[in-house]
Amino acid sequence: MSQTRAVTAVQPKRTWTSISGGTVRVSDVLRVVVLVGGALACLVPLLWMFLGSFKTPTELAQRPPTFLPESWLPTNYVEALSRFNFLQYLSNSVIVTVVATALTLVINAMAAYALAKYNFRGKTLLFLLTLATIMIPLQVILIPVYQVVASLGLVNTLWGMIIPAAATPTGVFLLRQYMLSIPDELIEAARVDGSGEFRTFAQIVIPLCMPALAVVAIFSVMWRWSDFLWPLVVAQSESVYTLPVALARFNAELTVPFNLILAMGVVSTIPVLVIFLFFQRQIATGIANTGIK
């Protein structure tokens, strides 16, 4: 692997005055070369998809492939819109993402508050149980969960996609850790002032938890937006397809031209990229603090 080679190359040149600038070392150059190579490997496929989404089927079939599209007109996007219920899938995706995230935030924050700031019977057990479920991803219990959803009549509904994974153990864990740092005196003071338990939670604790809530929200949005297996199982008719489900289904049908698929792929990628650009720092700290998706 090229990375290892670059790392070992640091060894012979032993000028340990690392903070001093000025002289350019071979190891520095090598490192930058490797990093730029890696960065290109990350970006080129996405750039390629973007360029491809403007190409015609004939252009896409060319050998060797052409680099830039002949025209930058959004023909494929317009056609994808008119040919499929594209707006329907888009709105399904938005609804599932937004409602699921809102639900997750509310119930996770409430549970986290109980686990962080109260003493009650069964607290440790409930907390450990919550942690243990990190090890039970929905993929592994797909069929039994589907049975539950089916018996509740939620198959083929957006609620069926939203509810089952709403109680994320990681959200509870992250919020609880954050709430532990809120001084008890604050909550006490609110009680002395006659504030009810729920009001204290909603008006004192929640505003203080905004940074942690933001992290949970961002992760929930990113994950729900891309989620595939569960929506695939629940969505059996086209009217409830989310974008990833629609993309996979159409891709499997050979009749759908690939340039339209690419256009849909670009549309489904842009929102998460925008969110990332805005919330980069929160994402990085969120991952660093929990190490959990």
Partner 1 sequence: MTTTTITTARPPLTRWTGGGWGMKLAPYLFLIPNMVIFAMFTIYPALNGFNMSLYESNNGRTFRWVGLDNYRKILTDAEFWDVVRNTVIYAVAFVVLGTLVALATAALVNAQRRGKTFFRAVFFIPVLVSPVVVGLIWNWMLERQNGLVNTALGWFGIPAVPWLVDDTWAMVAIILVGIWMQMGFYMLILLAGLQAIDPALYEAARMDGANWWQQFRVITVPLLQPSIVVVVVLATIHGFQSFDFIWTLTGGGPVGATTLMVQYIYENGFQSPIRYGIATAGGVLLFLTVFTLTLVNWLISRRREAV
The footprint of partner 1 on residues 86-115 (CB under 8 A) is 106-108, 110-111, 113-115
Cα–Cα distance measured from residue 50 to residue 262, given in angstroms and rounded to the nearest whole number: 8
DSSP-derived letter for residue 85 is -
| Other C-beta atoms lying within 10 Å of the C-beta of residue 268 | 19
**Shortest spacing between CB 226 and partner 1, in angstroms:** 4
Q: Taking CA 234 as the corner, what is the angle to CA 145 and CA 153, rounded to the nearest 5 degrees?
A: 70
Binding to partner 1, residues 151-190 (CB under 8 A) = 163-167, 169, 172, 180, 183-185, 187-188
Token pair 């709430």 in the structure block, residue: 179
Is the Cβ of residue 90 or residue 116 nearer to partner 1 in the bound state? 116
Contact residue for partner 1 among 20, 23, 64, 82 (CB under 8 A): 64
Task: Please answer whether residues 30 and 9 qualify as being in contact, where contact means their C-beta atoms are separated by less than 8 angstroms.
Answer: yes
Compute how many residues bind partner 1; rule: CB under 8 A. Answer: 113
Half-sphere exposure of 280 (CA within 13 A, CB side): 4
> Does the footprint of partner 1 cover residue 68 (CB under 8 A)?
no
Contact residue for partner 1 among 77, 261, 263, 279 (CB under 8 A): 261
Binding to partner 1, residues 115-154 (CB under 8 A) = 115-120, 123, 126, 129-130, 133, 135-150
Token pair 């243990």 in the structure block, residue: 132
As a residue count, the chain comes to 293
> Does the footprint of partner 1 cover residue 211 (CB under 8 A)?
no
Q: Taking CA 115 as the corner, what is the angle to CA 109 and CA 119, rounded to the nearest 5 degrees?
A: 140
> Does the footprint of partner 1 cover residue 11 (CB under 8 A)?
yes
**Shortest spacing between CB 48 and partner 1, in angstroms:** 6
> Does the footprint of partner 1 cover residue 207 (CB under 8 A)?
no
Pick the stretch among 68-76, 80-88, 208-216, 276-284 that binds partner 1 (CB under 8 A): 276-284
Cα–Cα distance measured from residue 60 to residue 49, given in angstroms and rounded to the nearest whole number: 11
> Does the footprint of partner 1 cover residue 205 (CB under 8 A)?
no
